[in-house]
Structure formats: structure tokens, C-alpha cells
Structure 1
């Protein structure tokens, strides 16, 4: 049963009337920068003054918890239990944002004041992540107002340190596993495939930062007097990097690649076009593993990128052989890649190529993870979204960036459905970050469709999704209902 037309109209009207813009304005004005002391004050106010009232209005009891990691901020859990016989939905969002980059926004815009320019709404957090969790909260609010109940139990987890790597999140979720037990996660973060394509992604690639340091001597020496007899650390570093990833972006170390590209992932990515939105950069022919499509390289495979590279003063070189050269590389990797021994594998590979003088340091952030493409919840969600979307819904096994999906798949054992309400050109983490009105308008409808369907189509039974969530006396389904 499709979502009633009157609910769709109410969702659209909430955005068209300016009500959603006004609400998002209130959220953006809190400078919740998680890596700054003043931001920690704003984060507490955001939890107390914005999120707690919003969740209370949904009938949730709300508790704020300290972070077990002193480097992280607090967590907030909202809970609404309608009946133990109903399925339980877990939602997620993060209250923190990156630095505002004041003074660098176009046309003198203030990052903490939501500003409309045509269909673009500019402000820090408008796309990442305040606009996204507001869309989901709005859909839940409108649905509850219309029906008087949700038809499922609701749990909402907010963290406040996602932009600094989610310190303490794994430990907190593990310690509060029972409070967060559910049947499925539906959350919003990251971008769609493109601005026009509703997207569902099932997990995330993640990254390992790899520092290469060639520190040969404390001083620089005149190249005319010593060139040809002293090893040049910059030349050495360039050669070492080329041993890891060649000049055409192809990874040269098998240990840095996943074991395979599963057929289910290949099928999900078949036919997807990358870089079709106006303003996107042109894709470079011959870059990366040309045996894979662009979508497979971006969403289903590993890449090794050079983020920074330097020796001496690049802008004012002198006629001297530098004493030291450094580079920072990043391995973006998909689920299934063994990254525990990345540093050791690179060190061993470089030594075999004659570069034992290169010091290697590897540091991981989140953990790559994904829900299987053939999980029953995925087919259910795509069916629901296709009913209300004007465009076919893209299914991405993983999105290109990183987020803490693994705490839900690996710690809580949940299938994860991410419905992003942004697009790749939103300029998140940069000046001029923005949410677009069309995506917000459609996003409220899409989110409401999923929530409406969850309350109607799986009432009284939980799909057998292999979630590993807490057992319940309610019967389990062996396949998701369709139609």
C-alpha cells in the first residue's frame, strides 16, 4: 500500500511553506564545532534546546550520557516504545559540524546564518548533518501528527563527535547494546549519487592514513657540491610512492586491495553514471583500475591517494638537496579488506624495492562495513521508495566516504539503510556548504514513505533480515512482504 497522497502533500507543503527553512535556521545558528572548546558549549545547548524538545515532541524519553572517551562529546538517546510486539527502528544523526571557515564564504555569508539563494540554502551543517536529521525528525513528526501513532518503536541515537572520528562511539554502543537494540537502522548522512537521483546506500568505505617520512640528514647541502653522491629524500620519496601507486592511479600492492568485487555489488552498480551533475569535474580517462567502471572504482573498490607531498620550500626553492621529505597518503577501502597489517605490508613492499629508508606510519579511522545487497530489508526499502520517487532509486553497496556504519552492523548486528538528503556538490566541510530545497522537499517525502511503510507492512512481525537484534516473542517473517 503506497503512502496516502494527503501525507505526501503535507510533507511537501511543510517545505514549500517555509516552515522547514525556519526550523533549519534555528539549528544552523548553533556553532557546534566538535574540535573547538566553544563548540562543546554549543553542542550541549544544541542537545538541550533543540534535540531534546524535538524528541520529546515525538513521545520519546530522552537521556544524555557522558562519553567514555575524554576526547569525545556526549551522546543522546531518545526512546519511544509503542508495543513490544512491534518492530523497532533505530535512527542516527550527529550534532557536530566542522569549522565554520568564517570570512571565506561567498557574498559575505555568515556560516551560522541560514541564507537562501534560489534553491540553495547556505549554512554550516545545512547538509552535514543538521539538515539531514531534521528531515527525518520532520517526517516522523508529520506522520505521528496524522496517525496518532507510528506503528513501530523508535530509538534515536545522536553523537557529537562524528567530524573528529566518533571517539568513544564503539565503546558507548557496546555498553548500551540493550538500550539500542532494534530490527533495522534507517539514517541519513553523506550524499546521493547525484542531485536528481534518490539513493539508498548500505555502508561505507573507510580510510587509513599513511605517512611516509624520508628523514636522511638535519641539513640541506648545495646541489652543485654534493649532487650525485648524496641521496635526495624527495627523489627517494617520489620513487617510493610510485612503488605503491603508479602515475595513473593504479595500486601496486596487492595487500592494499580487497579480495574480490562481489557479483551482487557489481550488479547493484551496473549502469550507474558518475559525475553527471552540472558543475561536477570531468572524469579522467585512464585513471585508476580501468578494468572497473567508474561506479565500481568509487563505491566498490579501493583507491590510494596522495593527500600532501613536500620537501624544503616548494614556493622558494634554493640550489640545495633537502634533508627530509614527507607525504601523507590515504587508502580508501571497502568492507572485506584486511587493513590490520597495512603499515607492515607497505614497509615490507618498499624494502623489497630498495626503499628501507622510508619510515611508514599507518592510522585507521572508522571501519569499512556494509549490509549485503541481497538483505531483505534492502529490497523492501527500494520497493517503498520507488513507489513515491519520480526517478529510479540507486542502490549503492557503500558510499565513497566514511561514517561509523560498523557500530550498527558489527556491534549491534543491524541491517543498515542510509537515505542521504544531500548531493556530492553540496560543499560540505568547505565554505558555501548548502542544502537544496528540492532535495529537502523530496527527502521528507521519501523518509515519511519508509516510516509509514514500516508501521503498516511489518506490523506484528519482524522480517528475517539476519539482524541479530534482541529476540522478541513476536513472530518473524522469512521474507519481507511486498505490495
Structure 2
């Protein structure tokens, strides 16, 4: 049996309907981590669904309780030979709110429904479909190799990624010896595009900044008080305009990243951001000047206004509101001091005539990535090229945030992410889906990678 046989076997899992039936069963668990009423579903997904799946692959499994009483973690381990390479994998089984009633044709978010090239359902892209692809590829290699993988594998699954992975670092640090590995390999987030396999080495960080102007209780008639009462909404809008301009360009130097290195520029030189017909078109003349779209997305910092509120937008009164608030988010790359961001904004606003604005951090994720000199990068890229005939895009990080720092910094592992979704997948929104075409290719990619890991063990002997 050969590498090609393993790839064909993985794809057969999709063609036979086995993979989609498995995914449908997993999507049915309503694992909304932001909903306290789903606590039992979060645990059940691990104990009822994933533990048996890993056991069928001869992994030993156990649930690890959260140190703060939140949802448990699943630790699965397969040890074949102390001389074989060991890979640590990751997935998350929690999802965002289902948003039932908002999906096309009133689709049920808790079923995996196939329409043409799309498989709809909450979690299909983020992240149940992606870790299901990796499990299916492991199974295919094992079937072809006569019950063996050829390498050692460990898997940790959390149920709190959508609420910021609050206990992941503490749990992983407590399990440091058990999570020892040669490589961290996982799948989440989107590819560069549906037709180009992608490797990313880490993630941008993200921090939410809450701005609030509270001048008085209640609202006051704009005719009787206009011109003599300060308007908090006007103040807030003016303050934000000192942080980011009308073309999305950062104005505060402390929010900007270090200079983009020549190495990163070279890596991104062939990366084209080309939305498909059902994705939003890139905005003309938006973002940092002098950068390509890829550099803006993967190598620069961006400040976005996520929400603003003052008065009642549905029923505006002829009155000056007493308060205004906004939630901003800075997405940032490695080299940005996350611990300095809030203080920098506060100092800037207060010095600029806005001492009435309260500034606080609401949520944060660190930026991290694997060094470009890691030999695992070329190894992964060559494996994918051999499987698909395509040169994968290699990104220093992807645009969003993941708990990559837990694995790259806390555990000290080289981190390689091979995503199985695409930018138009509608994750975190109604109509979340994966593409059958990408899923089939991804099953082959992961089977090829796992086969090659096994060959590495053979060569070591």
C-alpha cells in the first residue's frame, strides 16, 4: 500500500457519505460556548462523540477538567514508538450562536445540509468540520498501514475557543510533559482562497478597546440645549478620528507594528487577495499606504470600529444624548506590545483634549508565529505540493486570532496551521458552510502529511 492509497482512502470517506454523516452527527451538538444553557452539550460533545471516535483509532483518552470550573478539555494520545516523531494537534468543538431562523431557506443550523458544492451547518467551517477532516485522514492512513500510523500523535480539544480560550494556556502548561512533541499541526481559519492550499505559521493578535463618554444622566432637548451642552457622540466620533482616519489608516504611532521585514515581504510577494463573486470586493484606497493587500492583511495592524451607540437609532429623539460608547478592535502582528496599547490610547486621548473618555480593554489575544527558519515549513509545503500539484501559499500568520501562542510560546513548539475553510465560508454568521471541493482536497492533503510523518519515522530507523 502506498501514499496514493492513503490519499484515495481519505477521499473515499467523503464519496461514501461516511464523512458527511459523521459531520452531521457532530453539528447536531448545540455547543454554543457563550450560552450557559449549553454547558451539558459542551461536555457531551467530548464524552459522547469525540472520545469514542479517538478510541476507534486506538488513542487513549481522558477529560481534563477546567481549573476555573468551565468546560472540560479532551486529551487523546497515541504512542507507537519512542523513536518516531510526535505531532500535537488541536481543535475546538464549541461554536458561536446558531442564529436559527436567519439562514437561507430557513436551514437548520444544527444539521449538516448539502446544497450543490456547499455543506451548511454551524461548526462546519469553525471548527468541527476541520478537526473532523484531520481525524478522517488519520483513520485513512491507519487503515492503509494495517492499523498503524507510523508516528506518535496527541490531540487536545477545547470547548471555549469562541470565548477566548480562557483556560487553555493554564491547562496546557499543567500538561507540559504530556504534550511534548516535535511539531504542532492543526487546522482552523480560512485558506487564502478556495483554490489555493495554504499554510500559516501563527496568527495576528487582537484586543478590544471599549471607549465610553458619560457626561450626564438622560437626554436633553436639542433646541433648548443645543450649542451649550457637550454632545458625547460628537466627542467620541472626534476622538476615534484621531486614532484612525477616514481611509482606515492608523494615526497613532504606538498602534503601528514594526517595519515589515524583507523576509516577510518576499514571502507575501506571490500572495494575491482575490475575492470570489460571492465575497465582498476589496475597498479601493483603503488601509495603509504603500502596502499590498496581502501585506495589509497579514503583516500590518488594523484598527476597526466594531460597534457604536448613542441615543436610539431606531427611534431617534430630538435630544442631546447623555452618553456614547464604542467598541474598537486592534488586530496586530508580532512585535506589537499588547500590554501598552490601552495606556497608549488613554494617554493620547487625554493629551488631545478628551480626558472625559474612559478607555478599557475588553478582550485580548496575543500575536505569535513560528520562525521562518523552521525546517517544518518546507517539509509541509513540499508534502502539500506533492499531493495537490500546487505550491501552497505560506503566510506568516493569518488575519484573525487563535490561541497559537499557547503552543508556540508556552509549549515552545513549531506551529503549522493547514486550514480547510475559505474566506467566504460565513463563519460566525448565518449560512456557515464548507465546500465539498475543498474538503476533498483537504482530506488528501492531511492524509499525505500524515503518511509523510510515518515515512519520516521509517527513515529514522
Q: Is the TM value for this pair above 0.5?
A: yes
The number of aligned residues is 460
Q: How does 1:268-307 map to 2 (within 5 A)?
A: 268-307=267-306
1:29-88 superposed Cα distances (whole Å, 9 cap, x missing partner): 111111223422112222122111111122111111100122x31011111111111111
Note if contact 1:3-1:453 (Cα within 8 Å) is conserved in structure 2. no
C-alpha displacement of 1:366 = 2.1
1:435 matches 2:434: yes
1:330-357 superposed Cα distances (whole Å, 9 cap, x missing partner): 0011121101021110011112211111
1:392-440 superposed Cα distances (whole Å, 9 cap, x missing partner): 2111111111111000001110011111111111111111111111111
SS at match of 1:63: strand
Note if contact 1:128-1:428 (Cα within 8 Å) is conserved in structure 2. yes
Note if contact 1:206-1:367 (Cα within 8 Å) is conserved in structure 2. yes
1:270-308 superposed Cα distances (whole Å, 9 cap, x missing partner): 121213322111111111102111111111110000011
SS at match of 1:244: coil
C-alpha displacement of 1:3 = 6.3
SS at match of 1:170: helix
SS at match of 2:83: coil
Q: Structure 2 residue aligned with 1:82, among 80, 83, 91?
A: 80
Tell me the equivalent position of 2:178: 179
Unaligned regions of 5+ residues in structure 1, if any? Answer: 462-473, 475-483
Instruction: Tell me which moved more, 298-307 or 224-233.
Output: 224-233
SS at match of 1:365: strand
Q: How does 1:275-354 map to 2 (within 5 A)?
A: 275-354=274-353
Tell me the equivalent position of 1:235: 234
Tell me the equivalent position of 1:94: 92
Distance 1:310 1:101 in 2: 23
Distance 1:283 1:454 in 2: 39
Note if contact 2:5-2:144 (Cα within 8 Å) is conserved in structure 1. no
Tell me the equivalent position of 1:27: 26
Tell me the equivalent position of 1:399: 398
TM-score when scaled to structure 1?
A: 0.92
1:234-284 superposed Cα distances (whole Å, 9 cap, x missing partner): 111111000011111111111111122122221111121213322111111
Distance 2:60 2:398 in 1: 32
Q: How does 1:66-215 map to 2 (within 5 A)?
A: 66-70=65-69, 72-148=70-146, 149-215=148-214
Note if contact 1:192-1:421 (Cα within 8 Å) is conserved in structure 2. yes
Instruction: Tell me which moved more, 128-137 or 269-278.
Output: 269-278
Note if contact 1:58-1:141 (Cα within 8 Å) is conserved in structure 2. yes
C-alpha displacement of 1:106 = 1.2
Unaligned regions of 5+ residues in structure 2, if any? Answer: none
Distance 2:72 2:400 in 1: 24
Note if contact 2:3-2:448 (Cα within 8 Å) is conserved in structure 1. no
Note if contact 2:58-2:78 (Cα within 8 Å) is conserved in structure 1. yes
Instruction: Tell me which moved more, 48-57 or 166-175.
Output: 48-57
Distance 1:223 1:364 in 2: 36
